[in-house]
Amino acid sequence: MEILNCNGPTCPQPVVETRNFLATHPQLEAVTVLVDNPAAAQNVERFLGAQGFQVSIQGSEPDLKVEGHRQGQESGEMVIENLIEAHQKTLILISKDTMGVGDDRLGALLMLNFLRTLKEMGNALWRLVFVNAGVKLTIEGTETLPVLQDLEAQGISILVCGTCLNHFGLLGKKQCGETTNMLDIVTSLQVADKVITL
């Protein structure tokens, strides 16, 4: 089993280094990626899973091992490349937990109403990306969580910044979406037909 040491680098470097490593070792059957935080472990786990690996996370912070064993004969296509041939839809980037400026209570209500109304976009809505304080909308105990879970159940992709969750100490409280990294976010912005930023 090959071992890739990704301790130290911040998001999205662990995923980038893993992607580059797999690109130079296309026939690799098993790999262990060393990381030092849960967000990086989840990002690498999701990436390896999309490449056709059966993945498990061993250890605890700051000594985490993401172990992947290839399943089947085909090497999976990169998550990043899959995005291009997937949905060509509208992406909404949400970087705060309120909407507008002036009154935070009003802003929280507006954000809740905005999320509730997104279903009116129908098939045009492809992906929601939450960064910075926006990740607070995805955690347990919020009024917005059931709305987001409903959207996710309808097939809307939800990405939640792992670095941001770590910063606010909320990684264990996230209850919807996939913990993601800046590489996936940038690629999502690149391939979306339309981007709405809040």
118-173 residue pLDDT tens? 988 888 899 999 999 999 999 999 999 999 999 999 999 999 999 999 999 999 99
Number of structural domains (the chain) is 2
Q: Using an 8 Å Cβ cutoff, are 1 and 32 in contact?
A: yes
Looking up tokens 């993945």, which residue turns up? 55
Residues 53 and 24 grouped into a single domain: yes
Q: What is the pLDDT of residue 72?
A: 64
Contact status, residue 70 vs residue 173, Cβ threshold 8 Å = no
Q: Are residues 111 and 144 in the same domain?
A: yes
- pLDDT of res. 28: 87
Q: What pLDDT shows up at residue 78?
A: 47
Residues 101 and 168 in one domain: yes
Cβ contact 83:103 at 8 Å: no
- Both tokens of 81, joined, read 């490349």
Range of the domain at 37: 2-76
Q: Do 29 and 121 lie in a common domain?
A: no
User: Of 41, 76, 111, which closes a domain?
Assistant: 76
Q: What are phi and psi of 46, to 5 degrees?
A: -65, -40
CA distance linking residue 170 with residue 160, whole number of Å? 11
Q: Which among 51, 76, 101 is the end of a domain?
A: 76
Mean pLDDT per 10-residue section of the chain, whose length is 198 residues: 85 84 89 90 88 91 91 51 54 96 93 91 92 96 96 94 94 93 90 92
Per-residue pLDDT at 56: 93
Instruction: Say yes or no: 112 and 36 in one domain.
Output: no
Q: How far apart are CA 88 and CA 8, in angstroms?
A: 35
- Of 76, 109, 127, which residue constitutes the final position of a domain? 76
Burial class (CB in 10 A: 0-12, 13-18, 19+), 24: exposed
How many whole angstroms separate alpha carbon 122 and alpha carbon 35?
39
